[in-house]
Structure 1
Amino acid sequence: MKNTYFTPGPAELYPTIHQHLQRAMDEQIGSISHRSKQFRDLYRFMDEQLRTLLAIPDTHGIFITGSASEVWERMLLNCVEHESFHLVNGSFSQKFYDYANALHKHAHVLEKPFGEGFDAAEIQVPDYAEVVCVTHNETSSGVQMKPSEIHKLKRKNPKKLFCVDIVSSAPYPDLDFSLIDSTFFSVQKAFGMPAGMGIWIASEACLAKAERLQKNDTLTIGAHHTLPALWKHYKDFETPATPNVLYIYLLGKIAEDFNKIGIDTIRRQTEEKARMLYKFIESSDAYEPFVKQERHRSQTVIVATTQKPSSDVIAIGKAANMLVGSGYGKFKESQIRIANFPAVSPEQVNELINQLNKIY
């Protein structure tokens, strides 16, 4: 019997990926040149499907990276001359901040305890911060910042570049790209693909900043995958270096599948499944929601504190071929994390609930 993966990444593969992968093998997609018309057509198709899915305007480019983590470094090198500002409330937002310090940027931070969320009204962006770094969905703690709150914060700080991490939530968040300058995700979570590729979406304002910094002899914006180099090749739907051509093909196909369903339907289904899970967790004596404020609870990575060791809970799921994630870091043995991505159905979520209910 096959496993169902409720792990928050790598996660359950999207059901159609098998047929897309077979067609890619039949058409020898993995062997084509990244300087060929066939590749340019694949990249263009992926670009068109993502633009439709996420409502990305022509002012933003869609670039290929090796991972989402790579974008932390690319964004900081290309768009921060001196100062960045980071909202930190979990391990991955912390890593974005750590990257800024490692690159010798003057990094400001507003920090909240693990499991607590941010609202725009409580945030004061430092005057000289050039980029505001926000994590929409903190994979480690199951906290989301509502897009409406991110938009409010940008409107209060219109001259700042805003970079939003949507690694474990895309395509769920309804971001207004007239306000968001940069965002990024990886393919092994909600897009239901194996790990191995990141997507960086960046605006012309980010490009202009990178081009200005590139002229400064006292700075470096990097030597590999600089934003000006990415954008130069992107104009022709090419890449500076050989990319993961197979994954570009697969992402275009899965984004097309999502568009056939409709993004509104995907968002509604995500929220319905999240309600099922939170209702169960709140009503059970064996679990409780880790994130106390309902408005800050993730819809895509549900985190529950377990009364028994989380390894016991995970073992119950595994015995039924249903795998959930452990807690992150110091919460490894006291929490579980449940991925609520499009690849899993309401029926599978209901079966998982039935299994988790067997802890007693």
Structure 2
Amino acid sequence: MKQVYFTAGPAEMYPTFEKHLQDAVAQQLGSISHRSQKFRDIYRFTVEQLRTLMNIHESHAILFTGSASEIWERVVLNCVEHESFHLVNGSFSKKFFEYAVSLKKYAHKQEKLFGEGFDYAEVEVPEYAEVICVTHNETSSGVQMREPDIHKLKRSNSKKIIAVDMVSSAPYPDLDFSVVDTAFFSVQKAFGLPAGLGVWIVNERCLAKAEKLQKHEDLTIGGHNTLPMLWKNFKNFETPATPNVIGIYLLGKIAEDLNNIGVDTVRKQTEEKYKLLNKFVETSQNFTPSVVEERHRSRTVIVANTKLPSGEVIAEIKKSNMIVGSGYGPYKDTQIRIANFPAVSLEQVETLIQVLKKIDD
């Protein structure tokens, strides 16, 4: 019997994925040239669908990489001359910071305990930091930074670039791209696709910074997928090197499916499922929310502490053909993570809660 994946990525495939994949194979998209008109049409279509879905302004390019992790490096190399600033409250926001350190930048961080979130008023941005790196949704800890807080942070630091990691939440967050300079995600989470494609949304301010750094004798902005090269190719809906053509095609088709539903409906459905899961965890005997403050709890990755060993909980749930994730890193045995992505229906969430209730008895 088919299993339902409530894992945080790779995650449950979007219901229309198989049909779109069959169409891609039938069209032999794995064999076409990335310099062909057919590919340009695919790239253009995907960009149009993402602009509609996520309200991305024409001022921002939409670029493709091999992964979202790659984009951490691209942001640091192309947008930071000396100093970056990172809000760290989980394993992935910490890795973004560590990438900057490894690239020999003077990286500042404001760090909170695992499971704690940031509000705008408590953030202290260093005077000389060029880029503020924030994580909208920390996949490891289940913490979100609310969109209004991100927008206020940028508006009060208007001369700095703000970069938003929305890897495990896009397209749920309603980011204002007249404020946000750059954001990025990967497709194997809330878009319900196989891994292997990163999406980098970036504005002309970031491009200007990269072009300035490129002229610097003592700096490098990298040798592969530099922002100026990606942008130059984007103008013609092309890529510098052979990309994941099928992945780009599938992303465009899934984005179209979500547009047909409507992003407001997608968000309402996400919130409805979150409320059910959150209510269960809050009232459970064997589970408690890992994120204490409700306003900081992720709507797309629910993390719960478990009194029982997480391995036992996961094994029991699996008997009902459902897969949930373990806690991340040191929390592997004491937490479970439940992805609340568009690919999972309200009915499937309700079924999962019934299984969890049986474990709770």
TM range (shorter): over 0.9
Aligned to 1:320: 320
Q: Displacement, 1:284?
A: 1.0
Aligned to 1:209: 209
Alignment root-mean-square deviation, CA: 0.5
Q: Kindly provide the CA deviation profile for residues 264-322 of structure 1, in whole angstroms up to 9, marking residues without a partner as x.
A: 00000000000000101111101011101010000000000001001111011111110
Aligned length: 360
Q: Kindly provide the CA deviation profile for residues 312-340 of structure 1, in whole angstroms up to 9, marking residues without a partner as x.
A: 11011111110000000111000000000
Q: Displacement, 1:90?
A: 0.2
Would you say 1:241 and 2:225 are equivalent positions?
no
Mapped to 2, the partners of 1:177 and 1:231 lie a distance apart of 18
Amino acid at match of 2:95: K
Q: Displacement, 1:342?
A: 0.1
Mapped to 2, the partners of 1:293 and 1:352 lie a distance apart of 24
Aligned to 2:89: 89
SS at the partner of 1:45? Answer: helix
Cα contact 1:316–1:358 (8 A) shared by 2: no
Q: Kindly provide the CA deviation profile for residues 132-158 of structure 1, in whole angstroms up to 9, marking residues without a partner as x.
A: 000000000000000000001111100
SS at the partner of 2:188? Answer: coil
Q: Displacement, 1:203?
A: 0.5
Amino acid at match of 2:125: V
Aligned to 1:31: 31
Cα contact 1:281–1:288 (8 A) shared by 2: yes
The gaps in structure 2 that reach 5 residues or longer are: none
1:268-307 alignment runs, 5 A limit: 268-307=268-307
Mapped to 1, the partners of 2:21 and 2:308 lie a distance apart of 40
Aligned to 1:231: 231
The gaps in structure 1 that reach 5 residues or longer are: none
Aligned to 2:349: 349
Aligned to 2:222: 222
Q: Displacement, 1:2?
A: 0.3
Q: Displacement, 1:56?
A: 0.5
Amino acid at match of 1:30: G
Mapped to 1, the partners of 2:332 and 2:358 lie a distance apart of 20
Mapped to 2, the partners of 1:116 and 1:247 lie a distance apart of 34
Amino acid at match of 2:338: I
Q: Displacement, 1:237?
A: 0.1
Cα contact 1:60–1:201 (8 A) shared by 2: yes
Aligned to 1:40: 40
Cα contact 1:49–1:255 (8 A) shared by 2: yes
Mapped to 2, the partners of 1:248 and 1:154 lie a distance apart of 30
Mapped to 1, the partners of 2:82 and 2:59 lie a distance apart of 25
Q: Displacement, 1:358?
A: 1.9
Q: Displacement, 1:356?
A: 1.3
Aligned to 1:172: 172
Mapped to 2, the partners of 1:334 and 1:358 lie a distance apart of 19
1:100-249 alignment runs, 5 A limit: 100-249=100-249
1:55-70 alignment runs, 5 A limit: 55-70=55-70
SS at the partner of 1:41? Answer: helix
Q: Give TM-score, length-normalised by structure 2.
A: 0.99
Amino acid at match of 2:80: V
Q: Displacement, 1:75?
A: 0.4
Amino acid at match of 1:224: H
SS at the partner of 1:337? Answer: strand
Q: Displacement, 1:124?
A: 1.3
Mapped to 2, the partners of 1:241 and 1:127 lie a distance apart of 38
